[in-house]
Amino acid sequence: MTPPAILSRVFAFAEAGHARACALLLLIGLALFLPGRATLQPMDRDEPRFAQATKQMLETGDFVDIRLQDEARHKKPVGIYWMQAAFVAAADAAGVPDARQRIDLYRIPSLLGALGTVLLTYAAGTAFLTRRGAFLAAVLVASTILLGVEARLAKTDAVLTATVVGAMAVLAHAWNRRETAAALPLFAVVGFWVAIGLGILVKGPITPVIVGGAAVLLAVHARSGRWLRQLRTGPGLLLVAAMVLPWFVAIAIKSGGAFFEASLGEDMLAKVAQGKERHGAPPGTYLGAFFATAWPMVPFVLVALPHAWRERMRPDVFFCLVWAVPMWIVLEFVPTKLPHYVLPLYPALAILAALAAERSKSVLQGAAPALAAWWIAAVPLVLAAGVVFGSRHLGDPVPWIGLPLVLLAAVPAFIATREFRAERLGSAALAAALASVVIVSGVYQFSSPVLRSLRISERLADAGRSVCPSPAMASSGYSEPSLVFLTSTDIVLAGPAEVAAFLTRPGCRVAFVESRQSAAFDKAIADAGVEPRLVTRVSGFNINGGRRVEFAVWARENAK
């Protein structure tokens, strides 16, 4: 049986019913999102910040205030911390060893958010598309590099995207019924408002801004907002208030209003005013990044653009446009740029691509679409070259197990390109998804563990625990959140003099001293009259600093 025939049978299976389609999407999502979840180290800086703050909630029993060591972390609401804490506490209660320091447990909400995004894209697509078209849109979203990255990081963005897509799926079905008397099912209405409330608890106003902005533009376009009555706004807002107000009131009281000052003023409004945390970039950045972060969906969207322009006033196309375009324009002009900011808009583009595939007689007109198709086949080769260059640059061995897998992905990617050029877009999407599965296995599961130079915090923590089971630790010149998460909340992050003084105190003590701090540390140790033992030296590459670093690991096991 030829590859196109196999891919066609997969679509036939999905078309047989919603349950089959959703089950198949779950399998595809798990194949895409599971590899590397446990082997990938905590990725500085945001991920271990979230995980460490959650770990401190479990250590202190305080599930209202959010803290990173002694510092208040008042940038995002509490939702993601509660979700992470629930899974880690359950694993701890079930007897999972060292559950609180296993980063993969903190990543479970992101995995579920990514899977939810895929299924809810299908649900949104069924408002305008056949099962086949909705399945195509969901496969495109599942395969994207950006969603795969966020599925593996213990952060807010995969869950946030699921809340946006969930609410927009209900809004799509309400929009589809605007000229009929048919009411939305109660579970859909409740789900809409739960998605809004959960989105607020996870990342503040982002979900209601995207969904509310789309609803307003749709009402203006329809010259009526009566169809929005299906959402039962009054009871819905009461449900949202019941979900979010208790914690917002509690944190306002506990922080004396500092949470709102920090989250709205120092975090959100500051990002709008200027590029924060060295993430400033000019307008057009997201458009350029789309070609990498949205692979392999990119060609499918590009060939859909002429259809979207021609049919922009059609209700289904217009819905997708008001979902994606206004927020995209806003984000392009916000100085702070991070790739995941546009992730909640990708499902709208995938549905646009599926609409074009179903309703346009020919989507491959001109040389540009044919050229874009080759981007599907090119990316595995580009990634393979990147793996070789990256390992050589870092001084690590080439991951000879992972590299062949990345190269092997070129086979289904080439099939996807051929199917795309033959205008069999459904088969092309499935072949591209298979290529993505092979790539993530090669990169995350088999290549990343070999790149030991990037695992600085992990190696330092292991070196510290080799001295004694639970040493007191300190670090000079290196304060990445991953080190705090992998060691202990009370690790001392200080200058060389303070770390030298730390080693003079009683108990088993370990200090990590970065090479640029060595001279000052040696002088402080000599002045203190102590002679710590050099345990080992650890060298690596700090991604955030963009430079090579080296550490001396010092210990005093019998300090008195």
The tens-digit pLDDT sequence of the chain (560 residues) is 677 778 788 888 888 899 999 999 999 999 999 999 999 999 998 999 999 999 999 999 999 999 999 999 888 899 999 999 999 999 999 999 999 999 999 999 999 999 999 999 999 999 999 999 999 999 999 999 999 999 999 999 999 999 999 999 999 999 999 988 678 999 999 999 999 999 999 999 999 999 999 999 999 999 999 999 999 999 999 999 999 999 999 999 998 888 888 777 666 655 555 555 555 689 999 999 999 999 999 999 998 998 899 999 999 999 999 999 999 999 999 988 999 999 999 999 999 999 998 886 556 666 666 777 889 999 999 999 999 999 988 889 999 999 999 999 999 999 999 999 888 888 999 999 999 999 999 999 999 999 999 999 999 999 999 999 899 999 999 999 999 999 999 999 999 999 999 999 999 999 999 999 999 999 999 999 889 999 999 999 998 878 999 999 999 987 54
The secondary element (H helix, E strand) that includes residue 71 is strand 71-72
Residues facing residue 473 across a β-bridge: 510
Residue 557 confidence (pLDDT): 84
**Selection from 343, 299, 346 nearest residue 320 by Cα:** 346
Spatial separation of the C-alpha atoms in residues 483 and 461, rounded to whole Å: 7
Residue 138 confidence (pLDDT): 98
Q: Is 64 helix (H, G, I), strand (E, B) or coil?
A: coil
> CA dist 209 to 10, 232, 327, 330, Å?
37, 18, 9, 11
Contact 198, 109 (CB under 8 A): no
**Selection from 99, 263, 256, 236 nearest residue 170 by Cα:** 236
Task: Specify the CATH number of the domain 455-559.
Answer: 3.40.190
* Strand stretches in 177-331, DSSP E: none
Contact 165, 157 (CB under 8 A): no
Task: Retrieve residue 281's tokens.
Answer: 């970039």
Spatial separation of the C-alpha atoms in residues 276 and 267, rounded to whole Å: 8
Residue 545 confidence (pLDDT): 79
Task: Retrieve residue 309's tokens.
Answer: 């322009």
Residue 230 confidence (pLDDT): 95
Spatial separation of the C-alpha atoms in residues 192 and 194, rounded to whole Å: 6
Residue 277 confidence (pLDDT): 54
Per-domain residue ranges of the chain:
12-98+100-359, 367-452, 455-559
Spatial separation of the C-alpha atoms in residues 291 and 284, rounded to whole Å: 12
